[in-house]
A and B are shown apart, each in its own frame.
Chain A
Amino acid sequence: MTMDLFRIGFLPLVDAALPILARELGYAEEEGVELQLVRDTSWATVRDRLLYGHSDAAHLLAPLALATTLGLGRPPVPLSVPFVLGLNGNAITLKPGLARQVVAEGEDLPDSATSGARFAALLREKAQAGKRLRIGVVHRYSSHNYMLQYWLRACGVDVENEVEIVTIAPPFAADALATGEIDGICVGEPWNSVSVERGVGEIVNVTSHIWRRGVEKVLAMPTAAMEAAPELVHRVIRALFRAGEAFVVPDRCEEISGILARPEYLGASAALIGRAVSDRIKLRAEAEPMHIPDFMFQHRQAANFPWVSQAAWLYSQMVRAGHVEESAEGYAAAQKVFRPEVYRAALAGRGVPLPGASAKLEGGIAETTGVGTIQGRLLLSPDQFFDGRAFDPDRLTAYLAGN
């Protein structure tokens, strides 16, 4: 069998797992795809390689796929997302002295409303003293930035004036906390755990507690390239889907962490990586790991399905952050980035659940609910935001107005 070369750019993060496993567990090869992985340290580089043909697809921040399509900060290039690489998996880590004011000593992770109220008080006190806290996020157009801002705004923080949000690349999180360059960071794993282990940070919240089903990394491709090679794209999607099935098998945690830990992938400790893979997170250096259900949600319940309403929610947050001006054209273009029909075409006839709808009310599921499918059976468990608000993609303006 001749193998088709397919290159995926990635950053060293646990949520790059599915492309890495698709290669290492042989699923890509079984689909006749020679999967090559191209590692970088900044999203700008991952994006440039994708746009200039050094890679065929990228492990990318979902909002960055939207920003690239919309032409924010650079000329627009339409990208498409046929597959979501996972939900959540990020945490907010503060310097130990500050963290104790949000999570008391010996306390388990409080709910987001409780920790948020304490964090808001801390931010206000510092801002009033003229010493605004500086919190890192991994990119301007990142779910980290939007989830952090969502949490803070919902807890009454004046994000524009009471906190300074800056960009720090994930591998530098621990260093930046240690040197005092930042006071806290919202970053993906294993970089929170690395900070905890070094004693330079303590985890005060996780993004899955802000939005139980927050869209995180996606597989992004230039739309033109994706549409020019549908058959190859389908094979890549099937390989990634099988990698997702492997990722959620509890018995395989050690094996998977070991693969991700290799120098050519994350180049970090397998034990630390295993915490995220198993949803067992250590909040402080001296604490025992605690089980946080759905900390990372990489595959179950059609987590890899690109719901158009997820792209719509991200757009709403880009508007709220002042990154884009609300417009009907922009909103339509942003939603078009997510391509559920490509996902369905790739997995048709394989018995896996394929939702019939392409959009849903985000955050609207309070109890496990069956949803309509064109194939397989699908139950979705609660997907709520911590403040109980739901997002209806057909009512963007009302949502932004707070109604």
Chain B
Amino acid sequence: MMLERGKVKTEPFHFSERDHYGSLISEEKGPSAAALTGARGHLYAALQWEVGVRIVIIDESAARASIIEEGLREAGLENLSILTEREGMVAALVALEPDVVLINLENPSRDALEESFLISRSLRKPIAMFVDQSDEDMTTAAIDAGVSAYVVDGFRKERVKAIVDLAVRRFQAFSRLQDELTEARTQLAERKTIDQAKSILIERRGLSEPEAYKLLRNHAMQSNRRIAEVAQALITAETMLGSKL
């Protein structure tokens, strides 16, 4: 039975009805399970029927969008588009006719997007990610990770879940990368602060470098503060007392 785009309802699912995605995917023609083994095999197995699904990734961070795209591609999903610009987004989306829209939770265009879903005559009506009891955990995980998803009516939730799970993992991976980057930057800045404080002590008190460091460290331990904090306090005091620094 052929089903037209836009007329798919949530009736019982049969693989033979899946040809409305354009690229015909049947049970026999799906990617072989062997190609999808490995640590993530289980997830990929859930995705193997989705290779034709049209996914649009919307994110004002092009870097994060690429990381998600890469993850979805690795899983064998090919029909992907990325939108990063706010202006013209709705028109671009309508032209792409997505089955699933993945968007970062904090995207400023979400209100315009939701509006377009409700009014567009040409766009099939995607609705917010499933929020009934059975998917509460998935939705919460997605919101916590900062992902929001819209899915066209009739797209079965088990199939969406695999895609959203993957997006959630990529979002988390991106956040970790960001955290690590921030941490590395902080460490670098702190090292500079400590070096500067050491120079002050070396110059003002005639200490050697190891002695200066030891003094900072002891002071930090006594006052229950971090060395960088003590170093910063010393620099501030030195500046206020009008040194040549």
Contact = CB atoms under 8 A, between A and B. Distances in A.
Contacts of A40: 106
A45 B106 contact: yes
Given A42-B107, A73-B117, A181-B87, A169 B127 contact: no
B105 interface: yes
Contacts of A49: 143
Nearest to B143: A52
B131 interface: yes
A266 to B, nearest CB: 15
Nearest to B105: A45
Contact of B108 (A42, A54, A74): A42
Contacts of B116: 167
Contacts of B127: 73-74
B114 A52 contact: no
Interface in B116-138: 116-119, 127-128, 131-132
A44 B148 CA distance: 10
B4 interface: no
Interface string A254-272: 0000000000000000000
B16 interface: no
Interface string A52-96: 111000000000000000000111000000000000000000000
A332 interface: no
A140 interface: yes
Contact of A168 (B106, B112, B139, B148): B112
B140 interface: yes
A54 B86 CA distance: 25
B131 A75 contact: yes
Contacts of A48: 105, 143, 148
B28 interface: no
Given A48-B148, A54-B143, A73-B127, A167 B87 contact: no
Nearest to B60: A41
B152 to A, nearest CB: 14
Nearest to A61: B111
Given A54-B143, A172-B86, A74 B128 contact: yes
B115 A52 contact: no
Contact of B111 (A44, A53, A54, A176): A44
Contacts of B117: 73
Nearest to A322: B119
Given A73-B117, A73-B118, A74-B127, A172 B105 contact: no
Contact of A41 (B106, B128, B140): B106
B112 A167 contact: yes
A53 B137 CA distance: 13
Contact of B110 (A44, A52, A74, A181): A44
A73 B108 contact: no
Interface of A: 40-45, 48-49, 51-54, 73-75, 138-140, 166-169, 171-172, 176, 179, 181
19 contacts: A41-B106, A42-B109, A42-B111, A44-B111, A45-B106, A45-B107, A45-B148, A52-B139, A73-B117, A73-B128, A74-B131, A75-B132, A138-B111, A139-B111, A166-B115, A169-B108, A169-B112, A171-B108, A176-B87
Interface of B: 86-87, 105-119, 127-128, 131-132, 139-140, 143-144, 148
Please provide the 7 A-B residue pairs with the shortest distance between their CB atoms, ordered closest to farther.
Answer: A44-B110, A41-B108, A167-B115, A52-B143, A167-B112, A42-B110, A74-B128
